[in-house]
Amino acid sequence: MQPVVILVRPQMGENIGASARAMLNFGLTDMRLVDPRDGWPNPRAVAMASGAAGQVLDRARVFPTLAEAMGDVDFAFATTARGRELTKPVHTPATAMAEARELTGQGRRVGLIFGPERAGLENDDVARANAIITVPVNPDFPSLNLAQAVLLLGYEWTRDALPPEPAPRGRRPDAEIPATRLEIEKLADHWESRLTEARFFFPPDKAPAMRLTVRNLWSRLPLTRGDVQIFHGMLRQLTWAGPGKPRQDRPDAPAD
């Protein structure tokens, strides 16, 4: 079960759309709108949402009041940067989303409440929440854009489930995937063969140590498949063309 994102009296369609994009970045799709200023649907929100329109905005539900939007919510966090008279637990985004994961694991529905762009949530809105989320930002400029706040909580919600590297292997271009041991071995063999032909390993009594040093060099480099192809190509060009011979003269050379 994922948290519900509730936008209270949002003013600009662009911010609603940007919030939808931020949600979908981290797998959140349940958006609820409370009395949006410019009505609903909003073409500016759709334009800004881009690919998130179908999965988030088309499913978004509109409510006249926050109380109705929270009808099935068991525990709600109100996001605010201002001090309030109301006594409630105050969380950072990280601690709030850690608690949210525990609550959803118990089968309880969590709501994340965001206020309008100009002034944020009012006390009447915050009073309906169980706890407050405040981002520890520069105290001289604590204001966050609506979509930025949604993005921040979305990231904290899914942080533990995110892949350990920026681009999962299956989605990376083939040239950026780390080269396999076999690919590096073949590259080392290619260079050793051509360097032997060029009499690089000289004098004979030092050749074994030189070969070992060069072989060790390849194993220490963090090569990708694209790197391996580049090194193969450079060596083929050098050994085919010879010094000073232009590449375009090569019959099978691809055009630049």
Stretch 2-9: mean pLDDT: 96
Return the higher-pLDDT residue of 79 and 169: 79
User: Per-residue confidence at 254, pLDDT binned at 50, 70, 90?
Assistant: very low
DSSP 137: -
Sequence-separated contacts (24+) of 226-232 with Cβ below 8 Å: 226/173, 226/174, 226/175, 226/176, 227/179, 228/179, 228/183, 228/184, 228/187, 229/175, 231/187, 231/191, 232/187, 232/190
User: Per-residue confidence at 166, pLDDT binned at 50, 70, 90?
Assistant: low
What mean pLDDT is reported for the chain? 88
Contact 88, 132 (CB under 8 A): yes
Look at residue 255 and tell me whether its pLDDT is greater than 80.
no
Peptide bond into 203 cis (omega under 30): yes
- Return all residues near 202 (Cβ < 8 A) that are at least 6 apart: none
Stretch 131-153: mean pLDDT: 89
pLDDT at 101 (0 to 100): 95
Look at residue 256 and tell me whether its pLDDT is greater than 90.
no
Look at residue 3 and tell me whether its pLDDT is greater than 50.
yes
- Return all residues near 167 (Cβ < 8 A) that are at least 6 apart: 176
Q: 132 burial class (0-12, 13-18, 19+ CB within 10 angstroms)?
A: buried
pLDDT at 163 (0 to 100): 66
Q: Give percent above pLDDT 90 in the chain.
A: 71
Look at residue 248 and tell me whether its pLDDT is greater than 60.
no
User: Per-residue confidence at 26, pLDDT binned at 50, 70, 90?
Assistant: very high
Look at residue 92 and tell me whether its pLDDT is greater than 70.
yes
Please state which of the ranges 61-70, 71-80, 129-138, 173-182 shows the lowest mean pLDDT: 173-182
> Full-prediction pTM beyond 0.95?
no
